[in-house]
């Protein structure tokens, strides 16, 4: 027990020390501005400043995306504050001890002021000013501008990125955890560019402060040296100017390195490679470019008066490197051809057999030849992974595992077309462009885009096929931007939800019952086939799926069937009884969090007429009455939609099946529930009426 307590104490102490590390570092940096530091300690701190700058630069070059170095704005601020504190501390030492010689402020400042510029303060002054101009005018200003533009475009694109994440989540391509992580990354990216935009102002101010500190040190040193230490003008100028230039250089070189790192972080395009890998793959991977460069350098080297040795040596080295790259590429190509052209013995023609009979795929996806890249892993196609995600989400939502999707190319289709089939028959088709993006208009966009107008194949929304470089602009205008793979996957997800009833075949149902038998064996062992035949159970479940319901609650479904099977074997009657047993789930599906159900009602007179027609043995509605009922139901559904309420029609139990079948095709958004399906703890309010007024 004591060991556990000690371990917890040690963990808490370690956590507390890590939490105090940041504040302690800032306090120590600020104290350097006030407390006098000896030259030896200044040498250590200046060396640490240089090491910190190099480390930050190397980390920036090895990141694959800006968020991998999200702490960079804070590091930029701390390093700038450290340099300014060192400037203040070194200024104090220079002015107090500068009369003793160039080594008064430590060996580091002496080295930068003497060896790097040859002890010539005029040269040192020029070098210092050039470094400040490079840092201030070129690197810092450019990095700040990139960060500013990046922050603006990232903020403008946030709504479109969020909608794209929601679209992937709804299509089953990603899970809730992945969606939450992506939303967090989108927000962090906007915060990062905003912080970089502000942090770049610190670097710019640091460059200005460096020039002002240098002037103050030179003037203050001359005054102190000549008036307080009785030095002549030449000696005072030499001592204090060299010390000031050394101090400025030892601060500006790390500042230049940090600014370069900032420019690399904000100017790079996110990919799976760091900067070194991108340079090697994109800059020097093409031997033809290197050959042309070597030829141009070689011709320049043969011009009279040019440094022949340097130019011709570089041209020769580049030519050898291009030859080496060509040899590597040629060996890889030969090896690939050897694998592809392995000799295979041609078999003799065999007699026809049952193996030649091919079965029709339950679910199929046929693609034109330009869409093959979407399903080819060698070409980074991720449509197969997306379809796996769709099947998994369908299984979780509907309660059974659908058949696998068989994908093949079809040369009879146009190059950019695809076709989705169910048992060999086409149930959906569309066009997709592998190298373009689909910008979908959700109804509230603020501008137009150049591209090919079309419609979203899944839901019929207006959309435009655009080039990939217009993604950020489209998202900023409010479009939902998806790639071609997502278009096909979303269309397929919508269709398998629509045709869920036909996907529940005997094999799928048997697999479902086998799985359920392992969890609750008593639910199935007495029902099938003792009380109900297998086909009747399948028909009941297909009826439920056809009504847009899931069958996840198999316990309630099978218990209801077992209860009523001795009385009736009619699948339609059993479906109605099962719906009553699932009433709470049905109402929850349409009214997720409402205690009051705002529904469409039916006029009592119309209910009576329809009831009489059913009692007379009719299974269809008289044409004139059918036309009136259809118009009334459509008007009531439109009124309900204008109020922003679910389009649910509440009818007596005896009419539900007839009206559901009749209205399903004409008004697919209208759902019909029976009064017996409404739980007793729910209240009902009629907000629209079929055949009368509410």
Nearest Cα neighbor of 398 from 556, 273, 551 is 551
Q: Which of 433-447, 499-513, 535-549, 606-620 has the weakest average pLDDT? A: 606-620
What is the average pLDDT score of the chain?
Answer: 78
Share above pLDDT 70 across residues of the chain, in percent, rounded to a whole number? 76
Place of tokens 């029709």: 360
Could you tell me which residue, 285 or 565, shows the higher pLDDT? 565
The pLDDT, as a whole number, for residue 586 is: 87
Per-residue model confidence (pLDDT) at position 343: 46
- C-alpha dihedral sign at 583, 585, 591, 596: positive
Helix ranges (H only) for 32-120 are 39-61, 72-97, 107-114
Q: Is the peptide bond before 529 cis (omega within 30 degrees of 0)?
A: yes
Q: From residue 203, give the alpha-carbon distance in Å to each of 112, 206, 213, 540.
A: 22, 5, 15, 72
User: Among 201-215, 304-318, 394-408, 603-617, which stretch is predicted with the lowest mean pLDDT?
Assistant: 201-215
Nearest to 491 by CA among 417, 415, 582, 436: 417
Q: Could you say which of 3.30.200.20, 3.40.30.60, 3.40.50.300, 3.40.640.10 is the CATH number of the domain covering 359-501?
A: 3.40.30.60
Confidence check: pLDDT of 272 > 60: no
Residues 404-418: tens digit of each pLDDT: 888 888 888 888 899
Tell me which range, 31-35, 171-175, 662-666, is most confidently predicted by mean pLDDT.
662-666
Report whether pLDDT(155) > 70: no
pLDDT(682) > 60: yes
The pLDDT value recorded for residue 88 is: 79
CA atoms within 13 A on the CB side of 680: 0
Residue 263 pLDDT exceeds 80: no
Residue-wise pLDDT for 75-117, tens only, equals 777 877 887 787 777 777 777 776 666 666 666 766 766 665 5
Higher pLDDT, 240 or 602: 602
Over residues 534-539, the mean pLDDT reads: 90
CATH architecture entry for 592-694: 3-Layer(aba) Sandwich (3.40)
- Long-range pairs of 588-595 with CB within 8 A, sequence gap ≥ 24: 589/549, 590/646, 590/648, 590/671, 590/673, 591/646, 591/648, 591/682, 595/681, 595/682, 595/683
Correct CATH for 504-581 of 1.10.8.540, 1.10.10.10, 1.10.287.1060, 1.10.490.10: 1.10.8.540
pLDDT of amino acid 643: 85
Q: Which residue has the higher pLDDT, 169 or 316?
A: 316
Residue 463: φ, ψ to 5°: -150, 170
Please give the average per-residue pLDDT across 56-70, as a whole number: 75
Helical ranges in 231-371 per DSSP H: 233-267, 275-282, 287-301, 308-340
**Higher-confidence position of 455 and 692:** 455
Task: Round to whole Å and give the CA distance between 632 and 607.
Answer: 13
**How far apart (Å, rounded) are the C-alpha atoms in residues 226 and 374?**
79
Inform me whether the pLDDT recorded for 465 exceeds 80: yes
Q: What is the pLDDT of residue 84?
A: 78
Question: Quick one: pLDDT at residue 5?
Answer: 45
């Amino acid at each position: 027990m004591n060991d556990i307590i000690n371990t917890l104490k040690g963990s808490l102490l370690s956590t507390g020390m890590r939490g105090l590390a940041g504040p302690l570092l800032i306090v120590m940096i600020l104290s350097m501005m006030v407390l006098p530091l000896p030259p030896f300690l200044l040498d250590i701190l200046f060396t640490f400043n240089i090491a910190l700058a190099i480390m930050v630069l190397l980390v920036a070059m090895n990141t694959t995306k800006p968020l991998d170095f999200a702490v960079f704005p804070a590091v930029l601020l701390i390093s700038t504050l450290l340099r300014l504190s060192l400037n203040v501390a070194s200024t104090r030492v220079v002015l107090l001890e500068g009369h003793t010689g160039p080594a008064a402020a430590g060996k580091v400042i002496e080295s930068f002021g003497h060896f790097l510029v040859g002890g010539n303060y005029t040269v040192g002054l020029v070098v210092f000013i050039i470094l400040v101009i490079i840092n201030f005018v070129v690197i810092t200003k450019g990095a700040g501008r990139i960060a500013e533009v990046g922050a603006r475009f990232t903020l403008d694109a946030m709504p479109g990125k969020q909608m794209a994440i929601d679209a992937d989540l709804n299509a089953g391509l990603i899970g809730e955890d992945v969606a939450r992580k992506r939303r967090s990354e989108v927000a962090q990216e906007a915060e990062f560019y905003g912080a970089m935009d502000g942090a770049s102002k610190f670097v710019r101010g640091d460059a200005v402060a460096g020039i002002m500190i240098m002037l103050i040190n030179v003037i203050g040193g001359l005054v102190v040296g000549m008036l307080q230490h009785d030095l002549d003008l030449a000696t005072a100028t030499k001592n204090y100017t060299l010390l000031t230039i050394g101090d400025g250089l030892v601060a500006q070189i790390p500042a230049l390195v940090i600014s370069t790192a900032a420019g690399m972080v904000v100017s790079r395009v996110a990919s799976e490679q760091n900067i070194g890998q991108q340079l090697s793959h994109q800059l020097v991977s093409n031997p033809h470019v290197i050959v042309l460069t070597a030829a141009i350098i070689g011709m320049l080297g043969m011009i009279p008066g040019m440094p022949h040795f340097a130019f011709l040596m570089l041209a020769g080295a580049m030519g050898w490197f291009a030859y080496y790259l060509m040899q590597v590429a040629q060996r890889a190509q030969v090896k690939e051809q050897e694998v592809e052209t392995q000799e295979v013995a041609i078999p003799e023609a065999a007699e026809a057999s049952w193996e030649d009979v091919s079965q029709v795929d339950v679910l199929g996806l046929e693609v034109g030849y330009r869409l093959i890249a979407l399903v080819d892993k060698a070409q980074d196609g991720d449509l197969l992974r997306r379809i796996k995600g769709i099947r998994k989400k369908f299984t979780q939502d509907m309660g059974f595992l659908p058949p696998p999707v068989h994908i093949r190319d079809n040369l009879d289709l146009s190059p950019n077309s695809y076709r989705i089939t169910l048992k060999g028959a086409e149930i959906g088709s569309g066009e997709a462009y592998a190298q373009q993006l689909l910008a979908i208009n959700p109804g509230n966009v603020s501008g137009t885009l150049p591209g090919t107008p079309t419609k979203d194949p899944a839901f019929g929304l207006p959309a435009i096929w655009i080039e990939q470089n217009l993604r950020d602009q489209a998202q900023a205008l409010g479009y939902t931007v998806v790639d071609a793979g997502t278009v096909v996957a979303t269309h397929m997800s919508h269709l398998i939800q629509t045709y869920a009833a036909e996907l529940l075949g005997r094999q799928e149902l048997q697999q479902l019952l086998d799985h359920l038998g392992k969890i609750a064996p008593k639910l199935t062992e007495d029902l099938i086939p003792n009380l109900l035949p297998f086909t009747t159970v399948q028909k009941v479940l297909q009826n439920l799926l056809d009504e847009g319901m899931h069958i996840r609650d198999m316990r309630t479904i099978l218990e209801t069937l077992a209860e009523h099977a001795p009385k009736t074997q009619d699948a339609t009657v059993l479906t109605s009884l099962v719906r009553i047993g699932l009433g709470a789930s049905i109402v929850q599906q349409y009214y997720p969090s409402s205690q009051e159900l705002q529904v469409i009602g039916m006029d009592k007179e119309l209910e009576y007429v329809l009831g009489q027609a059913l009692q007379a043995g009719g299974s269809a509605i008289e044409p004139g009455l059918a036309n009136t009922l259809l118009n009334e139901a459509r008007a009531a559904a439109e009124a309900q939609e204008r109020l922003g309420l679910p389009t649910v029609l509440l009818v007596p139990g005896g009419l539900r099946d007839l009206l559901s079948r009749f209205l399903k095709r004409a008004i697919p958004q209208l759902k019909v529930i029976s009064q017996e399906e409404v739980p007793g703890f729910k209240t009902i309010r009629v907000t629209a009426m079929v055949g009368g007024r509410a």
